[in-house]
Every structure is written in C-alpha cells, then in structure tokens.
Amino acid sequence: MGIEIERKFLVVGEAWKQGLTPERLSQGYLNRDKQRTVRVRLAGGAAWLTIKGESRGATRAEFEYPIPVEDAEQLLALCDGPRVEKYRWRVPHGGLVWEVDEFLGDNAGLVVAEVELAAEDQAFDMPSWAGEDVTADPRYFNSSLASRPFKDW
Amino acid sequence: MGIEIERKFLVVGEAWKQGLTPERLSQGYLNRDKQRTVRVRLAGGAAWLTIKGESRGATRAEFEYPIPVEDAEQLLALCDGPRVEKYRWRVPHGGLVWEVDEFLGDNAGLVVAEVELAAEDQAFDMPSWAGEDVTADPRYFNSSLASRPFKDW
C-alpha cells in the first residue's frame, strides 16, 4: 500500500504548457463510493487498477496494480458511468512535478493541478498559474466527474 | 480476462468430506453491485483481487490479479460490509473438482458446492451429495452473503 498526500488547485492560463507534451488518460470507476474508489486507468499503452480509501485532509490510502491493457479495455466496459478522459501534463516547478489535468468531453473546460507531497505539512512553492485550492471539494474528485461532469455544474 | 461458467448446488450430508482437508478463505467486497463485484480474498498465505461482471445464465466475466497479502489485509478494512469467512473443500468427482464451501460466522449452516465448466451445456456427473440447483438464486452470491447473511434468511 501507499499513502497518497495530494493538494489540488484550479489552473489559471496556459503558460505552464510551454514546451511540454501531454499524455492521454482514459479512466472509469468500478466503484465511485468515496470510501473505496476502484479505478481502471489506460494511459500510453499501459493500464492500472487503483483502489483509494477515503480522504482525511489531503491524505488517503492508495493501492495500485498494473494490469494487462486488454483487461483494462474490458473492465472499462463494466464501469459505472461514463469514462473520464483527459490530457495529463507533467509540469516541473520548484523541485516538484505538478500533474496538470486538462479534461475532455463532458468535463472540457476544467483544468486542475495536483501536487503530491511527502507529508501534509510539507512546504512547497506555489506556481503563479495555480489558483483556488480545491483539495477538499468533492466535486473535483475524478470519481465525481464521472457521474456529475463539469458541463452540468 | 477469463469467462467463468459455474453451476452451484446446495449440499446434502457430510460424506463428501472424507479424507479431505479444507482451506480457510476470508473475503470482502469493495463493490457488491452484481454488475461489477470487486472482491478481496485471503487464502492460505496468498491474496487476490477479483472483478466479476454480471451473470448471464451460469456465465460471467472474471478478472483475477494476485496482490500482496499485506495489501489484502488493509483492503479488507476498506470493504463494504463484514467479511465472508468459509472453509473451501476441493472434492474430486466424475473427472471434475467440485469446490464445496462451508460457511462460518453469520453464514454458518450454509454449505454450497460449485463446479466450473468449460461451456454452459457441458455434461457432468451429479454427485449424490449435490442437492438443489441454486445457480441463479442471488441470495447465494457470496457478495450477497456479506450484506444479508444466512442467519437472517
């Protein structure tokens, strides 16, 4: 198991994109219950099954297992609700790599940046393009975006 | 992925136990929805994560991945509802190996035999100790036994 400690922010502008190439991610949920999300993710010819426990602050339990891509395609068909599709940009800033997700489809227009930390109180440098802190807002959980996409907010 | 084709029967008497030793299984569900069950199973020092699709007749999709035992212990704590505990007996009969599950705890008193087939119409020899066919009865799904155990029937 791992512990995931992650802060999440809205993103301002597009300057952070410069010189970077994103990866396309496609994911669905075998369970969207926030106490035990079960995610199937396809990305760049690889696939994972990921289970996360409930968040306490910025922290939650995370278990991740690689699975065959062929299985992932079929598991996505078993998922509850539509897939979440996005481009993921890895943006180096202040010694950390921020993951900026630019959502597609029913979530188009939403851009969110996440930074993974080693401890809840770890200091980090905020990029100029990071806006409102939405770590604790359940609307921004990817598992929520599958059932209640950005276009319906 | 695999396709699981399985018939399930109630069990009569205890004669089938003779000379056999069971394995203890402990399992819980990260999702009990019959369209996409996600099961965590601990058995004999090994553990698996298993996803099954909805049954059509005796057939359903099945995806199974080995996981570390340490992860399984923690995933069981994330599960929805109590664990299902049982002894599993492997009983050879007519060229096939039947799995006889003797449930414990809140499901004590329930004994069910399953036989896995290569095709829905595969002929097989019924053991004398196999009773009523309960393949299609959702009460006997292990995922149901977690939420509505045998003692409450």
Distances (CA, A) of A90 to A17, A51, B150: 9, 22, 51
| Beta-carbon separation of B79 and A36 below 8 A | yes
* Closest residue of chain B to A35, computed from CA coordinates: B78
Sequence-distant (≥ 6) Cβ neighbours of residue A18 within 8 angstroms? none
| Beta-carbon separation of B61 and A79 below 8 A | no
What is the rounded distance in angstroms from the CA atom of residue B7 to the CA atom of residue A55? 40
Instruction: Choose the closest CB to A78 out of B36, B49, B65.
Output: B36
Distances (CA, A) of A124 to A11, A106, A120: 16, 32, 11
pLDDT in tens, chain B (153 residues): 689 999 999 999 999 999 999 999 999 999 999 999 999 999 989 999 999 999 898 899 999 999 999 999 999 999 988 899 999 999 999 999 999 999 999 999 999 999 999 999 999 999 999 999 999 999 999 999 988 999 999
Six-digit token pair at B75?
């995933």
DSSP one-letter string for A73-137: HHHHHHSSSPPEEEEEEEEEETTEEEEEEEE-GGGTT-EEEEEE-SSTT---PPPTTEEEE-TT-
Six-digit token pair at B81?
């509802």
Q: Is A14 on the interface with B (CB under 8 A)?
A: no
Q: Are A135 and A7 in contact (CB under 8 A)?
A: yes
Q: Are B105 and B149 in contact (CB under 8 A)?
A: yes
Please tell me the distance in Å from B74's CA to the nearest CA on chain A: 8
If you search the block for the tokens 């992925």, which residue do you land on?
A: B1
Residue from A38, A73, A79 to probe the interface with B (highest B Cβ count within 10 Å): A38
The predicted model scores a pTM of 0.90
Q: Are A50 and A63 in contact (CB under 8 A)?
A: yes
Q: Is B118 on the interface with A (CB under 8 A)?
A: no
Q: Would you identify the CATH topology of the domain A3-152?
A: Hypothetical Protein Pfu-838710-001 (2.40.320)
Q: Is A30 on the interface with B (CB under 8 A)?
A: yes
Cβ pairs bridging A and B (under 8 Å): 61
The domain limits of chain B are 3-152
Q: Is B125 on the interface with A (CB under 8 A)?
A: no
| Beta-carbon separation of B38 and A33 below 8 A | no
Nearest to B31 by CA among B153, B146, B148: B146
What is the rounded distance in angstroms from the CA atom of residue A69 to the CA atom of residue A100? 24
**pLDDT tens digits for range A6-46:** 999 999 999 999 999 999 999 999 999 999 999 999 998 99
**pLDDT tens digits for range A114-126:** 999 999 999 999 9
| Beta-carbon separation of A75 and B67 below 8 A | no
Q: Name chain B contacts of A38, Cβ cutoff 8 Å.
A: 30-31, 38
Average pLDDT, chain A: 95
